[in-house]
Amino acid sequence: MTTRLGFGAAPIGNLYREVSEEDARAVLEEAWAGGVRSYDTAPHYGLGLSERRLGAFLRERPRDSFRLSTKAGRLIVPNTGPRRGTDEAAGGFLVPDDHVRHWDPSAEGIRRGLDASLERLGMDRVDTLLLHDPDVYGLDEGLRQGLPALAGLREAGVVEEIGIGVNSVAAALRAVREGDLDVVMIAGRYTLLEQPAAEELLPLCRERGIRVLAAAVFNSGLLASDTPATAHYDYGPVPPALAERTERLRKVCARFDVPLAAAALRFPLRHPAVDQVVVGTAHPAELRADLRHLDMEIPAALWEALREEGLLS
């Protein structure tokens, strides 16, 4: 069993492309066979598709043999407005837009969201519940209402852990300072490409005993792709400066015969505040590569060379 790698289930919610039921199950089977026992999903991912697929797979496993997290703050409700046919423009997922996301961080909204997630998952509980992207809709309202609502569920024994899942370091910092969190999932902000979380967020989490989950460690695929021009960065096109920086990283890694993706996967785990990296894929071969990279011996000289090149602080 591997404890330092978690499976992020956004891709099996049809992120960027359609994924068949068979392919979704195949990558989950690969993760399980490789010892992965930590799984993260969200209502946002494919308007519930990710939760349904992940739940169908995990229901066949003993409940105490894995850890499961999902997110709250955005309810999935029927779409009563104009439709484009798919959710791709609104959320990036190739699923029918017969539902939409409705922001509701109130105690009632958080509980309704959790209940709906449990129904889609077919589970009686999740281990961890994260407030999802409050900075996207309203950070003040999200933290003021959402964090106490999560704390109430933890105190009632409904969930074991609570936290926040964001792409924004500033939002995560506010949540840590204003709430009583167990977990921070920070996506794309502590990677081999960029490390803004290192200045304040990671030290503060370590000081307060908050588990940090480093998600999107490939920056939406950029650090795992051999063709940066067609890759994604933060779910969008790659800025030219970051494409150039990625190639510099790749060249340094090549000097040590280390794949860029391996260095990208392992880098966040070097920080003592980071408990786990969370990777998402719908390709079994990519998942196998991630597991190999997790066990790869990477020379300390590589990290020093990256610092000398000004690519790491």
Report whether 282 contacts 23 (CB < 8 A): yes
Residue 254 CA neighbour count, 13 Å, CB half: 7
Catalytic member of 45, 137, 233, 235 = 45
Integer Cα distance of 229 and 222 in angstroms: 9
Residue 89 CA neighbour count, 13 Å, CB half: 6
In DSSP notation, 249-282 reads HHHHHHHTT--HHHHHHHGGGGSTTEEEEEE--S
- pLDDT at position 253 is 97
Integer Cα distance of 38 and 229 in angstroms: 32
Q: Is residue 55 part of a domain?
A: yes
Number of domains the chain contains: 1
Angle at 261 between CA 260 and CA 264, to 5 degrees: 85
Domain that holds residue 169: 5-308
The pTM of the full predicted model, rounded to 2 decimals, is 0.95
Phi/psi for 277 (5° steps) reads -100, 145
Q: Which of 42, 45, 72, 210 is nearest to 148 (CA)?
A: 72
- pLDDT at position 228 is 65
Q: Is residue 164 part of a domain?
A: yes
Q: Let me know if 190 is a catalytic residue.
A: no
In the block, residue with structure tokens 């961890």: 128
Q: Is residue 175 part of a domain?
A: yes
Report whether 73 contacts 131 (CB < 8 A): yes
Q: Which residues of the chain have pLDDT under 50?
A: none
Residue 237 CA neighbour count, 13 Å, CB half: 4
- pLDDT at position 229 is 60
Report whether 268 contacts 277 (CB < 8 A): yes
Q: Is residue 273 part of a domain?
A: yes
Beta bridge partners of 38: 67
pLDDT tens digits, one per residue of 263-280: 999 999 999 999 999 999
The three-state secondary structure class of 305 is helix
Q: The domain that contains 48 carries what CATH number?
A: 3.20.20.100
Integer Cα distance of 128 and 132 in angstroms: 12
Q: Which residues contact 2 (CB under 8 A, 6 or more apart)?
A: 34, 35, 36, 37, 291, 294
Per-residue tokens: 126: 């999740």
Q: Is residue 211 part of a domain?
A: yes
- pLDDT at position 225 is 79
Q: Is residue 313 part of a domain?
A: no
Q: How far, CA to CA in Å, does 109 sit from each of 80, 118, 296, 302?
A: 19, 14, 44, 47
- pLDDT at position 235 is 73
Integer Cα distance of 82 and 91 in angstroms: 15
Q: Is residue 260 part of a domain?
A: yes
Beta bridge partners of 184: 164, 212
